[in-house]
Structure 1
Amino acid sequence: MGILAKVEDRPTPKEVYNYRVYLSAALASFAAVMIGYDSAFIGGTIALTSFRTEFGLDKLSTTDVAFLSANIVSTYQAGCFFGAIGGYPVSTLMGRKLGIFLASAIFLVGAVIQCVAKGSIGFGPIYAGRVIAGFGIGMASNIVPAYVTEIAPPAIRGRLVGFYEMGWQIGGLVGFWINYGVSTTMEISHIQWLIPFIVQIIPGAIMLIGSFWLRESPRWLLNRGRSEEAIRNLCWIRNLGEGERYVQEELAMMEAQKESQRQSIGLDFWAPFRCIWRNSHIRNRLLLGASLFAWQNGTGINAINYYSPTVFKSIGLTGTNTGLFSTGIFGVIKTTVTIIWILYLIDIVGRRRLLLIGSFGGAICMYAVGAYIAIANPSKNPSATVPPGGIAAMFFFYMWTVFYTPTWNGGPWVINAEIFDQGLRGLTQAVCASSNWFFNFIIARFTPQMFNSMGFGVYMFFASLMILSIPYVYFLIPETKSVPLEDMDYLFGKGMRPWNAHEKVMRRVRERAEEREMNERQRTPDDMHKMKGDVRELERKGTSSPADSV
């Protein structure tokens, strides 16, 4: 299969894969550029001599510096946690489009506040700005994956939700390198460390402006009773006319799902809460989705993202610029592998298999890095050059990046954006996004202390968690690639086993498509005339035709 091959759930006109759906996903995914940039730039900026000197960090003990660094980094995650929860009422009552606009506006306010910080007034503006910016990002992390999922054709859904991850990596790449750039090209000054804070305004502004171009999710509009607008937006996104068979089929499936939701869940604001509380199957699915972020953070990724200079120093690299350069290479590898993931791996190899591969390969690499540090103890045996063992450790660290990036980095986001009904997606996405930020906060808050007290044990700890995630994924997480959103309940249904559920669901999808095709071929002009007469008779009697008669 080619690198851009698609596995379709039904015959799909080529017009469906148009620039509008790709550009909509890309613009919304600028939220992830903001997230990725923050996770990459903040640790390196704190390590700059200009920042440390202006705020007096160079006069503090290692323990005190670790404490302050953890506070600066983790206030952002705290804001994200509450923003993810707040995203539910916004996206449910106001819509995905307005939610994206508000999230970017709140982020920009926080980013500007951070830029007024200076040594004479202390860390106050940084703390306050990062909490506010984090709140906006938390909202976006809830709303954007749901929005992209709802507008995406099934065959490229993983690829489009993957744009969110691509944005994360692009932001991270810029964030990793900007500190190296200002460190090597600028004199030590206030503006040197301020520039990385200013740059985060750019992706926020792009997302804010882009939100005016986006079209509201047709699924959300349909659920709010705005059918005509939903049809117009669906036709615009799919680049097809209202009378096209593909559009009619999609509308019929959306209407059927809405009716099913009305009967099983309800359409009011509190209906998802009641459904999750009463339905153990949905609760278990939500627990699975939220727990994926615990395993994701258990890989150690956010310890590396936020404190990359500390990580490279533990391997034996000395000098601020050397650490920042190594961090930049880390960002390049992540971005390159993410492109491959989006174009090929996510919708061809699938989600489940990638998670298993990432856990096994990543654990081996992390054990190797920890073993080197345990044996060579580079912090106690400094050297002007990196010894061969250190070079090997660097190789395994970068190999860990290759294993982690196309697997655990974006996999949990894609899966959680797919596995819940339209009526539940706003609430479940809020829970899962807040789960991500909660575990992210834990890692960001305690990583400096872990490195100070555990040494090489930090790497052994994260490697062991990756090994433990293997049976978790194998026995509990089914494959979701190419599965229509309307069939997710069947995928997680009673009697289904995660290791073969996907095969059963896709067999059912193919049979349904073949049956529709056969019925279409067998219809004669007289049959079509009779069907239209039957529909008119039903309407005259005050009943509506079934959705599958469209």
Structure 2
Amino acid sequence: MAGGTSIWISSEAKTDPKAIFNLRLLYLLVAVAWGGSFYGFDTGNIGGILTLPSFKNAFGLNDVPQEEQDNRKGTIASMLAAGGAVGALLAAPTSDYFGRKWSVLFWGMVFVLGAVLQMIADYDVLLAGRFIAGMGVGASSMLTPQFLAENSPKSVRGSMTATYNLMIVTSLMLAFWVNYGVSKWNFEGVEHDNTQWRTSMGIQIIPGALLCLMIPFVPETPRWLINHGKSEKGLKNICHLRKLPADHEYVQTEYREIEAQVRQEQESYAGHNYWVVLKDVFTSRSNFQRFFLAVMLFLFHKLTGTDSLNYYAPEIFALIGVSGGSSSLLTTGIYGVVKTVTSLFYVGFLVDRVGRRLPLLVGALLQATAMLYLALYLRFAGTNTDSVGGTPAGGIVGIVWIYIYAFGWSFGHSVACYVVAAEIFPTRIRSFCMSICFFINWIVDYGITRATPNMITNMGWGVFLLYAMLTYLGVVFIFFCLPEMKGRSIESMDNLFERPLWLMWRHAYPTEEEKVRSDVRENIVADKLGHDNDEDGRKDRVEHVETA
């Protein structure tokens, strides 16, 4: 990004001023994207840690009935999601009233506190730590995409926002491999040594500390400043981030679009309190359609079954015949590598060149088909948890399909809902709408995570069939209702969502005129015409004088 070139090289980015891809933007991206590591490490850690003998010994998971063991595992894993739901709700008022920047810092500190508490070998303290860390994760899951989207040039907005998800899957992969590494520790009394599970658990403190150290040097988002009556400071921050003067056409277009949207919002309902925001969301057809679309994307995102795989991947691999212990953790580690490599491809190439819509449709179809195979295989072949002769042929195919699932997830549901939610809402209602979306995200996450051990024990193959059918249903919804956001400015979404939601497939891809808010585009054209007329008038006067 530094040095005047863009690492994404989308068609829109090629025509942008080179100055906007600079070290200031890169620093902001790195500092804020650490928030994705909160989710990745905390999610990836716990599934493997629950299988470690030292953890089972420290938290009383040995020698208890299967039902009690399922309940304890479900409670430990799902406590993060419970905290995430609360954090997502609380993030909205802190973001709106104290600013995006200081909210990111505050919730980063909350996450670090929760991560430290999880290092204590006490069951109740562990649950409290996971809930507190979950609040930081839930808040950051809303704040990080929002912060990145509001500061990004529109030509690379998808890539920058999706970096949050890249950090999730990268940290998820690292957590899987750390778990595999500590599972290979083999010395006398390892099951009584807390160092094994604490090494896996403690790794998440590192990104939390880095975020807290770097965020104070990041500027506040111009959109929040302008929306709160600080237009001069907002323009200054645009110039700072883009490294362009205030009178540059690129800066003026971005600034005037933000100003026009804020002015329209204030004309509808003056103020920023949540009663005004609720009116804005539910009485405006355009805003309500955006809200409904984002909520549905998050629901289908969760109903693909990804949380069951993330939290309980070692146990799911064991169902299809992968032997337990280190072997299932190794297979899980490769699963994490597939996710990370695919996410790199998505962020580096797909999201701002191909877009959000087509990769999501293809990825969701792959996920649904993978879940369908697992359901049919377990239905007709049965579980293979006691397999001693190696993984059966059908189980090996199942492993491949799980990796295909990871491939589809990483350029589909993994990213799309985060990116779309961060870019479709007007500034005044963005925090509120994203907060509700992420609250739903975490509540569903909590339910799935808490229930998965019991569901696998009681439903077996039916769990995977349910996920497959719901994911196929999501593909139908996405095809008809999700337009392409690539290349559009955030403010131009006002024009897009004046159309009926179920007809979006007819207007999925924008023309050049639709990429800029209509009223601002008309004003810019008028200004140019006026400038050209002035130039022509000056030329006529000069020619007249010269003739005389």
Normalised by the length of structure 2, the TM-score is 0.91
Counterpart AA for 1:467? Y
8 Å contact kept, 2:285–2:498: no
Contact 2:36/2:164, CA 8 A, preserved across alignment: yes
**2:76–2:127 contact (8 Å) kept in structure 1:** yes
Asked whether 1:27 is paired with 2:35, we answer: no
1:292 Cα offset (Å): 1.2
- Corresponding residue number in structure 1 for 2:483: 478
Deviations 1:503-547 (A, max 9, x none): 3554434898699579638735945999xxxxxxxxxxxxxxxxx
The SS at the match of 2:492 is helix
Q: Distance in 2 between matches of 1:529 and 1:148?
A: 45
Q: Contact (CA 8 Å) 1:479, 1:498: kept in 2 or not?
A: no
Structure 2 alignment gaps of length 5 or more: 1-5, 539-548
* CA RMSD in angstroms, aligned pairs only: 2.3
> Take 1:227 and 1:242, find their aligned partners in 2: how far apart are those partners?
12
Equivalent of 2:52 in 48, 57, 65:
48
Counterpart of 1:127 in structure 2: which amino acid? Answer: L
- Determine if contact 1:293/1:439 at 8 Å carries over to the other structure: no
Per the alignment, residue 507 of structure 2 pairs with 501
- CA displacement at 1:37 relative to structure 2: 0.8
Residue 244 of structure 2 aligns with which residue?
240
Please state whether the residue corresponding to 2:216 is helix, strand or coil. Answer: coil
Pair 1:388-2:393 in alignment: yes
Describe the superposition over 1:332-388 as per-residue Cα deviations: whole angstroms up to 9, x where unpaired: 000000000001111122112122112222222221222222222243762331122
SS state at 1:319 partner:
coil
Which aligned pairs between 1:117-516 and structure 2 lie closer than 5 A?
118=121, 122-185=122-185, 187=187, 188=190, 189-270=193-274, 271-379=276-384, 382-494=387-499, 497-504=503-510, 506-509=512-515, 516=524
What SS is found at the alignment partner of 2:50? helix
In the alignment, the residues of structure 2 paired with residue 280 and residue 237 of structure 1 have an alpha-carbon distance, to the nearest angstrom, of 34
How far residue 498 of structure 1 moved from its aligned partner, in angstroms, is 1.1
Change in CA separation of 1:447 and 1:24 when aligned onto 2, cut-off 3 Å:
same
Residue 391 (structure 1) shift: 1.2
Whether 2:99 is the aligned partner of 1:98: answer no
Are the structure 2 counterparts of residues 192 and 84 from structure 1 closer, same or farther at C-alpha, using a change threshold of 3 Å?
same
1:73 aligns with 2:77: yes
Bigger mean CA offset, 277-286 vs 484-493: 277-286
**Pair 1:165–1:463, CA change in 2 (3 A):** same
- Larger mean Cα displacement after TM superposition, 238-247 or 490-499: 490-499
Matches of 1:411 and 1:245, distance apart in 2: 30
Structure 1 counterpart of 2:543: none
Q: Is the 8 A contact 2:54 2:197 kept in 1?
A: yes
Instruction: Confirm or deny: 8 A CA contact 1:96 1:216 kept in the other structure.
Output: yes
Structure 2 Cα separation of the partners of residues 3 and 143 of structure 1: 24
Q: What's the CA shift for 1:3? A: 8.3
**Paired positions, count:** 525
Q: Distance in 1 between matches of 2:522 and 2:268?
A: 29
The corresponding residue for 1:39 is 43
Runs (5+) with no aligned partner, structure 1: 531-550
Q: What is the SS of the residue equivalent to 2:352?
A: helix
Question: Contact conserved, 1:80 with 1:139, CA < 8 A, in 2?
Answer: yes
Sequence identity (%): 30
1:112 aligns with 2:121: no
Would the aligned equivalents of 1:57 and 1:65 in 2 still touch at CA under 8 Å?
A: yes
Cα pair distance change 1:520/1:282, threshold 3 Å: closer
**C-alpha distance after superposition, 1:394-436 (max 9, x if no partner):** 1111111111211110111001111110111111111111111
CA contact (8 A) 2:41 2:171 kept: yes
Deviations 1:240-297 (A, max 9, x none): 1223221122212221111111112433222212212333442232122112111111
- SS for the counterpart of 1:449 is helix
CA deviation vs aligned residue, 1:75-111 (integer Å, no higher than 9, x gap): 1111110110101110000000000100101111111
Q: C-alpha separation between the residues in 2 aligned to 1:247 and 1:517?
A: 16
Amino acid at match of 2:258: M
Distance of 2:287 and 2:525 partners within structure 1: 33
Question: Structure 1: which 4+ aligned runs deviate by more than 6 Å?
Answer: 510-515
Distance 2:439 2:537 in 1: 53
| Residues 213-265 of structure 1 deviation map (CA, whole Å, 9 limit, x = unaligned) | 21100111111222232122111111112232211222122211111111124
**CA distance in structure 2 between the partners assigned to 1:508 and 1:429 by the alignment:** 24
> Quick one: which amino acid aligns to residue 362 of structure 1?
Q
